[in-house]
Amino acid sequence: MAPQNLRRRNHDLHGNAPDHAVAALLLIDVINDLEFDGGAELLTHVLAAAEQIAALKKRCRQARVPVIYVNDNFGKWQSDFKKIVAHCLEDDVRGKPIAQLLAPEDDDYFVLKPKHSGFFSTTLDLLLQYLGVETLILTGIAGNNCVLFTANDAYLRDFNLLVPADCVASIRQQENEYALKQMRQVLKADVRRSTEIDFKELMAAAAEQEQPLERENDDGSKEQRRKAATESGHSS
């Protein structure tokens, strides 16, 4: 992850990121028309997951956990998120019921991605740094594709990972279960069901992790000041 002092330069991200939270909920590719090969089969699995994601999103908002839509731009480099939402809500597409369940609200964040991972060539990393996020709750589709790629990149950046098993879906259930197993074993992700997530416990655990880091940063700053003062004394 980027140095902590990056956050200190401008806490409000030029006025566009007023929240501060140790955890964030990511909704990956849920605003999706599903108009592709395998989309009909995927829809049968996504509907159940979308209901759980909607309930989890509601709990996150109550707990003041930021919600970030990380959505594919579907290869249309001139598209924007509002157009994608409007397309999925207003046109006769397979993904319409999912978009209706999970339509973004005015104060939700969004990031458009060109590839599988939510981190690749996007502003997600910078946004998470300014929000102060240490733990990511990953939800969405497909579990064995974009969710897995995003989880891999999050793990490389030392984020704590929660991937609720009932909030991700893939075209084939067997592949979804294998992806969850990989995330649990290799990426150390917690894959408990969304209803088992205790936000008070989550915040307390994250706060405990932050305290040693803050002490380490403070000690490092003191050491630098001591070194500078010593060098200044030698030169005088």
Name the residue ranges covered by the structural domains of the chain: 5-197, 199-236
> How buried is residue 198: exposed, middle or buried, by Cβ count under 10 Å (0-12/13-18/19+)?
exposed
Model pLDDT, residue 233: 42
Q: Who wins on pLDDT, 21 or 23? A: 23
What homologous superfamily does CATH list for 5-197? Isochorismatase-like (3.40.50.850)
Q: Looking at the predicted structure, is the pLDDT value of residue 82 above 90?
A: no
- pTM of the entire predicted model: 0.80
For residue range 122-167, list pLDDT tens digits in order: 999 999 998 999 999 999 999 999 999 999 999 999 999 999 999 9
